[in-house]
């Protein structure tokens, strides 16, 4: 192992001494600063001092202390990255509860960084091996965060990058990129010039590969498949008011009926654009036919209600496909619901209702689906935050040639939330090599090609529409779409094995040092 230059070692010693004075407060500040690495700022390089500081402050601490410091880092990190959740409660007239929700959710998510630091401290090994172990555990916890507590894989470290570096997700997925991101950001702590330079070359290689992929993969379009995205930017508080429903629908219809240069195969409205159950209101469907061109379809978010034998309504967050004859040709019920947004988990225990309109909780759909419609290639619908889950995207293996994301980001207010959401969901397009069409109630609506390039977009609170030719999927499926998380699993296994190479097993922390 090659040592860094003496002045760099002295700088690290100074940092260690400074951090040792206020370890818990500084852990929180470092975590909050790390949240600036995500959209829309993408200040990736801030992760270097943040992870260097965290690993330094963990030195010579009991394992209990390392968990608490990791938890404080995570609490600051998620408080900064998820502050926009406050606006959802403000919109629902629960302003007093907003700050509690932010710090509460951040505290729950902070368990994962706490466990990373706890498990890293269990094995006392040199800095080089510690960096590998820490990075592998961080990425592993991000993967677990996608499943535990209903799953919430928001702001994974792989999302800190911009488009060129994100091309690597076509091979290793966002979890694999998260592992390399943390490994690169932590490399200076290893005190190994070889390790640091190796990570510089690895990340430079990813950038070169991403640049090559972007410059040699042009955007191809179905010239005969023209679509229209409609963004009405209706405020959330007006969306469900009975006296506003007709006015809202007329706005969507007026934007849909404006003349197009080419015949439209489909008009697309966002999540919950229609707040009246279409399956229970045939007269409303007749009124919507004016928004559909000949041989075209209307794809809209709405609600679907069915009644049980005892007349209890079962409500679904639904996507409908209506043809020009006013027939519902297909529909998709949202599979993965948003906790507290669409249903209230542990309602009897914590006494909190869901934030969305209606007295009844939404029900989840039976399965993920790929939908087909005349004159349109088969597509997979993703409603709201379904798109943040890599495991929910079926991809080309299931014949989906494009992804359609319908969302209502009005809940996020004027915050980083909508930009983070777009940055996350467009990675699904890169991972699978298929275009993503995103219709958002108040933005950001976008047309994204298979490499993640945003071809057109409508900004926050903009009222308008986008006419576009549907981009084509890549001819060959991506490596990731075929092998999914296998490359990531192999990377994690390597990362977990490196700490044990050249380490004396007697270096494990004794039980007395745990607390």
pLDDT tens digits along 224-237:
999 999 999 999 88
Which tens digits make up the pLDDT trace of 235-285? Answer: 988 888 889 999 999 999 999 999 999 999 999 999 999 999 999 999 899
- What is the chain's mean pLDDT, rounded? 91
Domain ranges of the chain: 6-216+483-513, 221-470
Q: Exactly one of 334, 431, 451, 472 is catalytic; which is it?
A: 334
Comparing 78-87, 90-99, 106-115, 375-384, the range with the smallest average pLDDT is 90-99
Identify the pLDDT of residue 60. 87
Smallest Cα–Cα separation from 360: which of 413, 301, 311? Answer: 311
Catalytic site includes residue 431: no
Strand partners, 291: none
- Is the confidence at residue 483, as pLDDT, over 50? yes
Number of Cβ atoms within 10 Å of the Cβ of 39 = 18
pLDDT band at 425 (very low <50, low <70, confident <90, very high): very high
CA distances in angstroms from 349 to 160, 352, 452, listed in the order given: 36, 9, 42
Q: Which two tokens stand for residue 492?
A: 């994690």
The two most distant CA atoms of the chain are separated, in Å, by: 79
| Cα–Cα distance measured from residue 304 to residue 330, given in angstroms and rounded to the nearest whole number | 12
Which tens digits make up the pLDDT trace of 5-50? Answer: 566 567 666 766 666 678 899 999 999 999 999 999 999 999 999 9
Catalytic site includes residue 289: no
3-state secondary structure at position 156: coil
- Judge contact between 133 and 495, C-beta under 8 A: yes
Helix axes 169-186, 417-432, angle to 10 degrees: 130
Q: Exactly one of 142, 271, 342, 431 is catalytic; which is it?
A: 271
Q: What value, to the nearest 5°, has the Cα angle with vertex 293 and ends 290 and 295?
A: 125
Among the residues of 224-281, which ranges form H helices?
Answer: 236-239, 245-257
Number of helices followed by number of strands (H, E) in the chain: 18, 12
Cα 142 off chain centre by? 12
Name the CATH superfamily for 221-470: Carbon-nitrogen hydrolase (3.60.110.10)
Identify the pLDDT of residue 177. 99
Catalytic site includes residue 64: no
Give the side-chain half-sphere CA count within 13 A for 183: 28
| Cα–Cα distance measured from residue 183 to residue 170, given in angstroms and rounded to the nearest whole number | 19
Which tens digits make up the pLDDT trace of 366-396? Answer: 999 999 998 899 999 999 999 999 999 997 7
């Amino acid at each position: 192992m090659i040592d860094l230059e003496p002045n760099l070692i002295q700088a690290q010693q100074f940092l260690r001494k400074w951090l040792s004075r206020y370890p818990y407060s500084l852990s929180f500040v470092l975590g909050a600063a790390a949240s600036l690495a995500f959209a829309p700022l993408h200040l990736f390089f801030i992760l270097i001092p943040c992870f260097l500081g965290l690993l330094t402050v963990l030195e010579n601490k009991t394992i209990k202390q390392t968990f608490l410091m990791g938890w404080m880092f995570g609490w600051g990190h998620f408080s900064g990255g998820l502050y926009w959740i406050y606006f959802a409660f403000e919109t629902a007239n629960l302003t007093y509860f907003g700050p509690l929700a932010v710090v509460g959710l951040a505290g729950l998510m902070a368990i994962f960084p706490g466990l990373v630091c706890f498990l890293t401290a269990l094995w006392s090994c040199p800095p080089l091996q510690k960096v590998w172990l820490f990075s592998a555990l961080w990425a592993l916890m991000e993967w677990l965060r996608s499943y535990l507590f209903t799953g919430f894989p928001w702001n994974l470290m792989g999302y800190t990058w911009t488009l060129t570096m994100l091309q690597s997700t076509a091979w290793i997925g966002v979890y694999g990129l998260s592992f390399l991101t943390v490994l690169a950001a932590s490399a200076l702590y290893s005190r190994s010039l070889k390790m640091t330079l190796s990570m510089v070359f690895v990340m430079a290689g990813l950038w070169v590969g991403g640049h090559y992929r972007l410059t040699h993969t042009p955007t191809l379009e179905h010239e005969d498949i023209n679509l229209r995205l409609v963004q009405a930017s209706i405020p959330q508080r007006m969306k469900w008011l009975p006296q506003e429903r007709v006015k809202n629908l007329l706005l969507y219809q007026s934007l849909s009926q404006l003349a197009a240069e080419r015949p439209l195969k489909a008009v697309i409205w966002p999540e919950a654009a229609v707040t009246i159950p279409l399956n229970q209101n045939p007269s409303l469907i007749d009124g919507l036919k004016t928004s559909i061109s000949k041989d075209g379809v209307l794809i809209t978010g709405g609600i679907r209600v069915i009644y049980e034998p005892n007349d209890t309504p079962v409500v679904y967050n639904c996507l409908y496909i209506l043809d020009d004859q006013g027939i519902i040709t297909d529909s998709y019920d949202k599979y993965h619901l948003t906790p507290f947004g669409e249903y209230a988990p542990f309602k009897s225990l914590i006494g909190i209702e869901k934030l969305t309109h209606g007295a009844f909780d939404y029900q989840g759909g039976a399965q993920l689906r790929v939908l087909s419609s005349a004159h349109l290639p088969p597509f997979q619908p993703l409603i709201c935050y379904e798109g943040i889950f890599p495991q929910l995207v079926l991809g080309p293996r299931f014949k989906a040639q494009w992804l359609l994301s319908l969302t209502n980001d009005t809940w996020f207010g004027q915050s980083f939330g909508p930009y983070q959401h777009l940055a996350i969901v467009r990675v699904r397009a890169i991972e699978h090599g298929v275009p993503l069409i995103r219709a958002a109630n108040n933005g950001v609506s976008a047309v994204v090609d298979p490499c993640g390039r945003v071809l057109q977009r409508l900004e926050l609170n903009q009222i308008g529409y986008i006419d576009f030719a549907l981009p084509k999927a890549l001819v060959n499926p991506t490596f990731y779409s075929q092998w999914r998380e296998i490359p990531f699993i192999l990377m994690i296994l390597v990362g977990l094995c490196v700490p044990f190479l050249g380490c004396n097993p007697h270096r494990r922390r004794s039980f007395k040092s745990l607390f």
